[in-house]
């Protein structure tokens, strides 16, 4: 049973470009969370999604950031017009619908904005 | 609002020594509590979790943690540290309603031979 997959593992973008980060949850998991880890800091919650539904986006910046989890395919975290302050590690976690308390994390995508 | 405090930013121990990493939380009800470990450049691995019941929980890699409601603490312990335990350790609390995790700022553990 493969774990949570994230790609790309490393992403370099210039200011103003778009960044798309993908997350494939563990098999059977229909709940996905995105977290951001700034350098030398802990993880901060961004958004919680179920298939085709955003449950909690209280941690998402109001502008430039969006997330989706379509019926088919991976969850996508999209950052438009990236700025240097977006440089961070972005982690995805998933959990089983009937085992809500335990989240399993992917390896993360490290975004560097030049 | 929920919050987690890890007072020690950096801890250094000798291999074979005992270890205790501190974690204090703020939450209105009985929380779900977690310890995760992160090796450099890697994702997070769950060490152990507390939901209810026995306040002393056992995890992987020889780690254990004790939930103390009176002190709002969930400290992580290991009787004898191995060089491979060098990593960043994060304590986290989950709100029952949404289960999003609130993380502490982490404790970086360095192990000397």
pLDDT, tens digit, for every residue of B50-100?
988 889 999 999 999 999 999 999 999 999 999 999 999 999 998 764 578
Task: Find out whether A108 and A90 touch, Cβ atoms under 8 Å.
Answer: yes
Tokens standing for residue B9: 């930013």
Q: Quick check: B32 and A103 CB within 8 A?
A: no
Q: Please enumerate in sequence order all residues whose Cβ is within 8 A of that of A55, keeping only pairs 6 or more positions apart, or say none.
A: A48, A49, B98
Q: Quick check: B100 and A33 CB within 8 A?
A: yes
How far from A98 is each of A26, A95, B18, B48, CA to CA, in Å? 14, 8, 37, 19
Quote the CA–CA distance of B101 and A92 in Å, as a whole number: 12
Which of A103, A106, A109 is the best residue to mutate to test the B interface, defined by the most B CB atoms within 10 Å of its own CB? A103
Q: Which of A100, A102, A106 is opposite residue B43, by nearest beta carbon?
A: A106
Q: Quick check: B103 and A108 CB within 8 A?
A: no
Give the pLDDT of residue A99: 59
Beta strands in chain A (DSSP E): 5-7, 10-13, 19-24, 31-37, 43-50, 53-56, 65-68, 75-79, 88-96, 99-105, 109-113
Using DSSP bridges, classify how beta strands B87-94 and B101-103 pair: parallel, antiparallel or unpaired: antiparallel
Mapped onto helix, strand or coil, the DSSP state of residue A110 is strand
Quote the CA–CA distance of B45 and B65 in Å, as a whole number: 16
Give the pLDDT of residue B51: 85
Q: B109: closest CA among B21, B3, B12?
A: B12
Q: Which residues of chain A have pLDDT under 70?
A: 1-2, 99-101
């Amino acid at each position: 049973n493969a774990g949570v997959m994230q790609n790309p593992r490393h992403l370099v973008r210039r200011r103003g470009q778009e960044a798309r980060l993908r997350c494939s949850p563990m098999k059977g998991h229909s709940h996905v969370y995105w977290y951001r880890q700034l350098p030398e800091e802990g993880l901060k919650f961004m958004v919680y999604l179920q298939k085709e539904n955003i449950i909690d986006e209280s941690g998402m910046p109001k502008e430039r950031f969006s997330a989706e989890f379509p019926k088919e395919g991976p969850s996508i975290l999209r950052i438009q017009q990236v700025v240097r302050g977006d440089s961070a590690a972005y982690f995805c976690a998933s959990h089983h619908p009937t085992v809500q308390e335990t989240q399993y994390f992917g390896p993360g995508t490290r975004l560097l904005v030049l | 609002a929920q919050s987690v405090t890890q007072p020690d930013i950096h801890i250094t121990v000798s291999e074979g020594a005992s270890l205790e990493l501190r974690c204090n939380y703020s939450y209105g009800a009985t929380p779900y509590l977690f310890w995760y470990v992160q090796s450099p450049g890697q994702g997070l691995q769950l060490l152990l979790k507390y939901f209810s019941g026995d306040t002393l929980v056992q995890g992987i890699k020889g780690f254990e943690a004790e939930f103390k409601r009176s002190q709002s603490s969930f400290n992580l312990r290991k009787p004898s540290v191995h060089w491979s335990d060098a990593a960043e350790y994060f304590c986290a609390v989950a709100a029952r309603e949404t289960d999003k995790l609130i993380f502490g700022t982490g404790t970086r553990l360095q192990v000397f031979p």
